[in-house]
């Protein structure tokens, strides 16, 4: 018996299926698959140490140098935390630190070189972010005001970019124009003082950790939450500086206190304010400690309260601390250890004191930095010498970190930032 073959046509479908149902059958799966073009993509941007391109002069970087390709960017899976490569903006100038403005339309990179455009300094680049796919378009590049810019942050006014020049031992202030482009530095301050010893006061037993006590090294700069004061650290001078900030001119002037000192040789590297704005935590690169300060935002005064080791009892050998983060809810503090390759986890007490709650292996060596995604549910660790990013799920109740199994290969990752309309959730 012969059967008439079935035929297909849009007209035949229209006769059998109401138009609204048919359209839903096409449109709904697309939304369920997360392909709705009206939804802003959840993006991650990773700064790297990258090899010179063309006639760009060699960069000063930690070993192994140059495996990155520039600024790598990824789409982020909101549920699993996994990263999907979305592109690379090629740069051979080691864009090792990144900052994104609050509207997520502009990205800025510190290009960690000691030569730029015939001068003995590094450079800072500004980029426009494409809202639909996260791609980058360079707006301009300007001098950083010193050699080896290693850190950038935006002032709360969004009118100035703050820069720490590690190799130059200076900090600078760059104006941000209305279109997001950068102007050249309007203020440059060079650190001065006595260099600390090569053996840290609080170095672990048997440590040969020595990185920056050879000359001045400004390592981080950031405004306090109020915007009235700017703080920066110099690793070699073992000091945290506090400045009054003029929001009209971008000028820095010393506060009455001026600075506070850490134990000789310990080397303050990075810091982070608690969400309450009153507690300030500093991590010391060579001393392997976290120090708690109480902060008075009225006059920018820091008062040291107590310090804790980032290493377990009995640890012996060399270690370099890297990053410090306070959780978004203020309940936990995380400190990075390089060579030992762990993240130490602390619970925050009633007066800001820290209670050690354990550690987690970073799944790679030399964790240069790490950061939470905007939801606070995941932590991303840049394992510089392992050439990978490792993704951890955050336990919001205990502060614990559990490895998700997700790695993302990136050559010499240094810093990760995010753009997303996601809100923090429990």
> For residue 265, what pLDDT is reported?
97
For the segment 10-30, the average pLDDT, to the nearest whole number, is 42
Q: Which residue has the higher pLDDT, 378 or 32?
A: 378
pTM, entire model: 0.89
> For residue 55, what pLDDT is reported?
43
Measured CA to CA in angstroms, residue 392 lies from 23, 75, 336, 363 at distances of 40, 17, 14, 10
Residues 6+ apart with CB under 8 A from 397: none
Region label for 42, one of left (φ > 0), alpha (ψ between -120 and 50) or beta (otherwise): beta
Residue-range domains of the chain with CATH: 40-164+173-189+413-426 (2.130.10.10), 191-361 (2.130.10.10)
Neighbours of 88 (CB within 10 A): 17
Among 14-18, 31-35, 52-56, the range of highest mean pLDDT: 52-56
DSSP 357-368: EEEEE-SSS-EE
- Element (DSSP H or E) covering residue 86: strand 83-90
Output the CA angle 412-163-186, nearest 5 degrees: 150
Confidence grade of residue 420 (pLDDT, cut at 50, 70, 90): confident
For the segment 348-369, the average pLDDT, to the nearest whole number, is 98
Q: Over pLDDT 70: what percentage of the chain? A: 86
Least confident range of 207-221, 281-295, 304-318: 207-221
Q: Residue 88 pLDDT more than 70? A: yes
pLDDT tens by residue, 100-149: 999 999 999 999 998 888 899 999 999 999 999 999 999 999 999 999 99
> For residue 65, what pLDDT is reported?
61
- What is the DSSP secondary structure assignment for residue 316, as one 8-state letter? B
Of 328, 329, 326, 365, the closest CA to residue 346 belongs to 326
> For residue 30, what pLDDT is reported?
38
Tokens of 180: 């997001």
Residue 239 near residue 284 (C-beta atoms within 8 A): no
Confidence grade of residue 26 (pLDDT, cut at 50, 70, 90): very low
- What is the DSSP secondary structure assignment for residue 204, as one 8-state letter? P
Q: Residue 405 pLDDT more than 90? A: yes
> For residue 63, what pLDDT is reported?
45
Q: Residue 355 pLDDT more than 90? A: yes
Residues facing 292 on adjacent strands: 281, 306
> For residue 56, what pLDDT is reported?
47
Q: Residue 399 pLDDT more than 70? A: yes
> For residue 103, what pLDDT is reported?
94
CA distance 396 to 377: 7
Q: Which residue has the higher pLDDT, 211 or 63?
A: 211
> For residue 421, what pLDDT is reported?
57
Tokens of 324: 């410090």
> For residue 295, what pLDDT is reported?
98
> For residue 211, what pLDDT is reported?
80
DSSP 119-171: BSS-EEEEEEEPTTT--EEEEEEEE-SSSSEEEEEE-TTSSEEEEEETTTTEE
In the chain the first and final C-alpha atoms are separated, in Å, by 64
> For residue 115, what pLDDT is reported?
87
Neighbours of 349 (CB within 10 A): 10
Neighbours of 19 (CB within 10 A): 9
> For residue 209, what pLDDT is reported?
85
Average pLDDT over all residues of the chain: 89
Q: Which residue has the higher pLDDT, 245 or 17?
A: 245
Q: Residue 171 pLDDT more than 70? A: yes
pLDDT tens by residue, 50-75: 987 654 444 554 544 689 999 999 99
CA distance 163 to 156: 14
> For residue 9, what pLDDT is reported?
46
> For residue 196, what pLDDT is reported?
96
Q: Residue 259 pLDDT more than 90? A: yes
Strand segments, DSSP code E, in 238-296 are: 239-245, 252-261, 268-273, 279-284, 289-296
Q: Residue 364 pLDDT more than 90? A: yes
């Amino acid at each position: 018996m012969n059967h008439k073959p079935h035929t297909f046509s849009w007209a035949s479908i229209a006769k059998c299926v109401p138009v609204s149902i048919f359209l839903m059958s096409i449109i709904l799966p697309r939304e369920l698959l997360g392909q709705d073009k009206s939804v802003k993509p959840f993006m991650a941007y990773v700064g790297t140490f990258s090899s010179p391109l063309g006639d760009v002069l060699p960069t000063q970087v930690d070993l192994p140098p140059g495996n990155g390709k520039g600024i790598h960017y990824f789409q982020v899976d909101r549920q699993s935390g996994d990263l999907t490569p979305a592109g690379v903006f090629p740069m051979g100038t080691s864009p090792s630190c990144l900052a994104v403005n609050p509207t997520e339309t502009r990205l800025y990179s510190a290009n960690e070189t000691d030569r730029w455009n015939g001068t003995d300094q590094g450079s800072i680049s500004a980029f426009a972010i494409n809202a639909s796919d996260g791609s980058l378009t360079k707006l301009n590049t300007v001098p950083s005001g010193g050699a080896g810019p290693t850190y950038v942050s935006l002032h709360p006014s969004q009118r100035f970019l703050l820069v720490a020049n590690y190799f130059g031992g200076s900090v600078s202030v760059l104006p941000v124009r209305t279109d997001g482009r950068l102007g050249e530095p309007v203020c440059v301050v060079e650190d001065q003082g006595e260099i600390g010893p090569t053996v840290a006061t609080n170095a672990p037993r048997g440590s040969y950790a020595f990185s920056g006590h050879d000359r001045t090294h400004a390592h981080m700069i950031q405004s306090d939450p109020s915007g009235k004061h700017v703080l920066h650290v110099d690793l070699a001078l073992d000091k945290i500086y506090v400045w009054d900030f003029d929001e009209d001119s971008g000028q820095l002037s010393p506060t009455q206190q001026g600075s506070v000192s850490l134990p000789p040789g310990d080397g303050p590297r990075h810091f982070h304010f608690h969400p309450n704005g009153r507690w300030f935590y500093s991590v010391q690169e060579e001393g392997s400690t976290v120090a708690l300060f109480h902060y008075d935002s009225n006059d920018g005064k820091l008062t040291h309260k107590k310090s804790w080791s980032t290493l377990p009892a009995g640890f012996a050998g060399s270690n370099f601390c890297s990053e410090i983060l306070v959780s978004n809810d203020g309940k936990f503090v995380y400190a990075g250890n390089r060579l030992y390759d762990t993240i130490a986890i602390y619970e925050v007490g009633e007066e800001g004191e820290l209670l050690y709650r354990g550690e987690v292996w970073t799944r790679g060596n030399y964790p240069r930095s790490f950061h939470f995604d905007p939801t606070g549910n995941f932590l991303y660790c840049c394992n510089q010498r392992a050439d990978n990013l490792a993704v951890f799920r955050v336990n919001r109740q205990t502060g614990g970190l559990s490895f998700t199994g997700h790695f993302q290969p990136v050559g010499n990752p240094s810093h990760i930032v995010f753009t997303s309309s996601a809100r923090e959730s429990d």
